[in-house]
Amino acid sequence: MAASAWAEEVDESATPTPDPVVDLLSVELLKSGVRVYGEQAFSVLADFGPADASEFRSTLGVRASAPLDDSFALRASVVAQASFFDYDGDLAGLEADLGGVDLFQRLFDTRFALGGIYRLPLNGSVFGLTTTWSVFGEGRAELGWEDGASLGDAVSGSGALGVGFELAPHLQIALGVSVGSRIDEGGVNVSPVVGFRWRIRDGMRLASQGTGLLFAMDLLPELELQLRASYESERYRLDDGDAPPMDLTLRKRDVPVLVALRWSPTRRWRITGGAGSVVYQKWRVEVDDDGGSSSVDAGPAALLVLRAEYRF
C-alpha cells in the first residue's frame, strides 16, 4: 500500500531536539528516500540564580527509509548533537547549588535507531473514509555524556512496539509501549508511546511532537507558519574529574515555546527559522545508587532556531 498524499506533507522541521515518539507513526516509514539536516539552536541568558547560562546547540542528522514491499518498510537514523555552554556571574555559587560539581562546558549526544512498519490487511471504511491499521517496532541506542566522561557509562537503549491507525486523509494515531534502560540507574524503565497527526483542513494540521504539540498552517504554497510547545528531558553522564569515584548524572529539563516559518524553495530543500523562549529549565545532578541530588531552576530565556534540510 502506497503512502497517502498527506504523508508527503508531514515534516518535523524546527524542533529544538529530535522527537523520539512522533517518528514512530507508521506513515513515516512508508516513504522512500534519504534526509540530511543540520540545526543550530541558541538559548540565551537563562537566570539560574547565582549565574546566567547560555546554551549553543548544533545538530546533524541523517535518516534513510525504504519500502521492502507494498506492506513492509524499514528506516534507520543517526542523530548527533553537541551543546556548548557559556556562564556569566557567580560560577562558584552555581557550582555549590549543584552539589559542588564543576560546571559542564560541553555536552554530547548521539542516537542510533532502526525501525520497521507493517501495514495490516485490515482496510475498512468509516463515514466514507478509508481506515488502515499497522504495527510498528523500533530499537534505539543512545550515548549522552559530558566531555571527559566515560563513554561506557553513557550508553542506554530502548525498544518500542505499538499499533498505528489511519483514517485517511484526516487522522493518524499511534499507541504503544517503550521499554528501556537509563544511564543513571539499573532496572527497566517502561513508558507509553502516544502520537497523532490531525489534518484539520488543507494546509492546516495539529500533531504531537513527543511530549509537545505542533500547529502548522500554510501561508503560501512554499511558506508555512509553525507554533510549537514541548517538555523535554535529557540525561548525560558527567565527568567526576579528580573527585572520589562516583557516578554523576545530569538530568536536564526544558519547556521551549517556538514560533517558526518554514520555507520550501524546492521539493528538496526546506529551511526553517524560529524564535521563542525556553520558559522553564531545571538542571538536576544525581549520584547513582541513591547517593543524593542537587538541582537549580531558571526562568524564561530567549530561544532562536535555524534549520536546513535536504531530501535526496
- At 218 the pLDDT is 96
- At 69 the pLDDT is 81
- At 220 the pLDDT is 95
Which residue positions in the chain have pLDDT lower than 70? 1-31, 184-187, 241-246, 289-291
- At 15 the pLDDT is 38
State the DSSP string of the chain: -PPPTGGGG---TT-SS--SSGGG-GGGGG--EEEEEEEEEEEEEEE-SSEEEEEEEEEEEEEEEEESSSSEEEEEEEEEEEEEEEEEE-HHHHHHHTTSPPPP-EEEEEEEEEEEEEE-S--EEETTEEEEEEEEEEEEEEEEEETTS-GGGSEEEEEEEEEEEEEETTEEEEEEEEEEEETTEEEEEEEEEEEEEEEEETTEEEEE-SSEEEEEEEEETTEEEEEEEE-EEEEEEPP-TTSSS--EEEEEEEEEEEEEEEE-SSSSEEEEEEEEEEEEEEEEEEETTT--EEEEEE--EEEEEEEEEEE-
Average pLDDT score, the chain: 85
CATH code for the part of the protein at 6-311: 2.40.230
- At 157 the pLDDT is 93
- At 193 the pLDDT is 86
